[in-house]
Amino acid sequence: MTFPCYRWLVGDVKVEIREGTAKTLREDSSSQLVAHRKRELQDKQKTYRWVTWAPGIPRCIDAKTEADLPQDVRFENEKRSDFEHSLHYALLELSLKKLAIRFGKSWNDLDDFKRIFWKLRSPYVFDSEYCMEHWKEDWFFGYQCLNGSNPRMIQRCKKIPENFPVTSDMVQSSMAPRTNLDKELKAGNIYLLDYAIMDGIPTNTIKGKPQYIAAPLCLLYQHPDEGLIPIAIQLEQTSGLDTPIFLPRDPPLAWLLAKMWVRHSEFQVFQLLSHLLRTHLVVEVFCVATLRQLPAVHPIYKLLAPHLRYTLEINCRGRTQLISADGIFKRVVSTGGDGLLVLAQREYKVLTYRSLQPCIDFADRGVSQLPNYFYRQHSLMLWEAIHSFVSGMINLYYQSDHDVQEDLELQAWIRDISQEGFTELPNFGLHSKLSTREELSTLLAVAIFTSTAQHAATNNGQFDWCAWVPNTPCTMRQPPPTDKDAVTMEMIMATLPDVSQSCVQMAITWHLGRAQPDAIPLGQYMEEHFTESRAVELIDRFRTELKEIEDHILSQNEGLELQYLFLLPSRIENSITI
């Protein structure tokens, strides 16, 4: 028999340890064991408490800093030391570069950015210099919409929006021979990026100087020869004489600056919404509810625990170091401060349970047929593998839907998630009761997929896409242009981040996006929560399927100049650790 104890034993404490077999409440016939479960949950509910960190976003753990967390959910010493050292190292490295050029010529043209460019080989995809070499090219812009750090923004465009009056004549020069905009709309080859969520967001002030944002609309065309390319950009949501529609045939600097503004909006959305809100904060809800409502012997606790391992500490650090009133984002990001919260609140209002399920999300966005959408292809393979694994586990411990319905601990867990964690979301679409094994399997797959694959997709490539600052600028220091013919290189350089902002952008994206030392990949477990042979067999089968996905992805990328390896299973961490 095995008696696992994955807890810190600190001081003069009494710890009661159960035999390791996973058991639901109904399987504990002994009143003594039932009482033990009850005491454990009472103690954990006193320790792990919900709090509203800010209104209008998911609730979180009641801890002002990571030091307030119990030792059991904190980093190990090595992990904590690495986290703190890497951020200090990156900031120091780039501060020295900033000091070296403070009194010299800087930012007169785009080549000046090379003076602080950090030439690091990415462990994930490509040399960061690849982006510097190709960022001006339209195909590269389109590629990032599919496989960059925010690959779930793009949607099929069936009809040109009324506030984006693009005509067929405007974009005809971008079309393939013998076709036009109307034909391509009907054929499903026109796509849209709509940053309406950015409209009217309060802007930041950095060192006494106002920063600027835009709320662009960008039309893209799946060209039969050139791939996905942008064909029209409007930088505000309201059309008019002062809101021109930028086109590829415009003066090159005007078209380039328009694309920079889209990519600037992309930085805000991917960092604050796709990354922070839709992975970190969503997963924290599952983490807190699991710690509060499921005893360590429960099979669902055992299933989820490895995927929630460092969520609480990393989120506490993020709230204090990055997004607080005096955090790093406030110093360099155009939506830092009040704008950050308003943006998160807007996204939270429209967050749906459907959108967290990739198989539904791709269909809802109408992008199931987009070629070279590697994020979609790999996400669906991983989703199916995770869902199959979870379903097997659920069927092992729940013989029928009735068993799910009668598990009082499980029902308390889903109520904590839906009523306490995801509050103020009448249209979220997650019920406060679990009725079937399939509902439970899907919910668990969402939690695991979000904390592993989805986080990897939005986090791991950010240094690759952001190290060359003009490709994805963190802030803009001048308002969007209103006259295409007035755009000059001097205007572009006055708009892009300054030396200090550029250095911090590079430091923070390297720190967040780097490969973590001693990372535990998806499907591997540091702790053996399951001891039963049938459960171990399911874990082994899951690992085999992940290996097959790995081999498929490597084969698919073989020979490609620009590879997509962010969702390679061996490079997806088993939990959010950064």
The DSSP bridge pattern shows strands 60-61 and 50-51 to be antiparallel
Residue 178 zone, left/alpha/beta (φ > 0; ψ -120 to 50; rest): left
36 is in an annotated binding site: no
Query: HSE (CB half, 13 Å, CA atoms) of 278?
Result: 34
- 410 to each of 169, 323, 404, how far by Cα in Å? 59, 33, 7
> Cα–Cα distance between 462 and 506 in angstroms, integer?
10
* Chain-centre distance for alpha carbon 363: 19
Q: What is the DSSP string of 282-331?
A: HHHHHHHHHHHH--TTSHHHHHHGGGSTTHHHHHHHIIIIISSTTSHHHH
> Cα–Cα distance between 284 and 310 in angstroms, integer?
10
> Cα–Cα distance between 209 and 501 in angstroms, integer?
13
> Cα–Cα distance between 206 and 501 in angstroms, integer?
10
328 is in an annotated binding site: no
The widest CA-to-CA distance across the chain, in whole angstroms, is 81
Backbone angles phi, psi at 422, to 5 degrees: -95, 70
Contacts 24+ apart (CB under 8 A), 395-398: 395/437, 396/299, 396/532, 396/534, 396/535, 396/538, 397/22, 397/24, 397/299, 398/24, 398/437, 398/440
394 is in an annotated binding site: no
578 is in an annotated binding site: yes
Dihedral of CA 282/74/412/423: which sign? negative
Give yes or no for a contact between 257 and 491, defined as CB atoms under 8 angstroms apart: yes
Residues flagged as binding site for Fe cation:
275, 280, 455, 578
Residues flagged as binding site:
275, 280, 455, 578
